[in-house]
Structure 1
Amino acid sequence: MANRNVNSYFWEDEKVTNFTPEDRYFMLFLLTNPNSNLLGIYQITLKKYHFTLGTLMILLSICLKDLRNTELLSIQKRPARSYIKVPKHMVLQRVESL
């Protein structure tokens, strides 16, 4: 399992400061959950988010819509599966100096 850290820039990002607490929680989950890769692309279902976060499905749908409207994530729907992409994933990850 990968160790994920969130850059403190996350809390200063103009779009994030306007999020609801639920949107922030969901975005933190997207940045740190074990289904993410370093590019910020996820293949996961709403049911899995619901089970992991313990959040109502309707609230997850609202969070997805809110985050899509801020362009902090996009959803690619394919016939067999859907993907979520977080374009700023690398910016919001903390980079350790060597």
Structure 2
Amino acid sequence: MTAFNPATDLPASVNSLSKLVGWANGAFYQLHKATDYQESVGGILVPVVTAQDGLAANKTERIIFRVSLELEDTWRASPQPFWVNVRSISTAAIPTQYRP
């Protein structure tokens, strides 16, 4: 699991849920953009995370992430929130450009 300490790893500029989502997805993308998995039986390998920037119909700039997280087999029966049952992909450190 990639270690994370919000007191030391999270930049002060991440001060809203939207910014937290962007920061976390951006760091995750930097670490795992070359990691693939098979999404369906007989299907092709797809990236665990993708990122694309673009201009929306209303002319606002966007960053679009698609992320796939592996869950413990027993997550549906678990009384804990789903995120507690997310399996780690690696032990890679948070990229330097994402650290304060």
TM-score by length of 2: 0.29
Instruction: Name the one with the larger strand percent.
Output: 2
TM-score by length of 1: 0.30
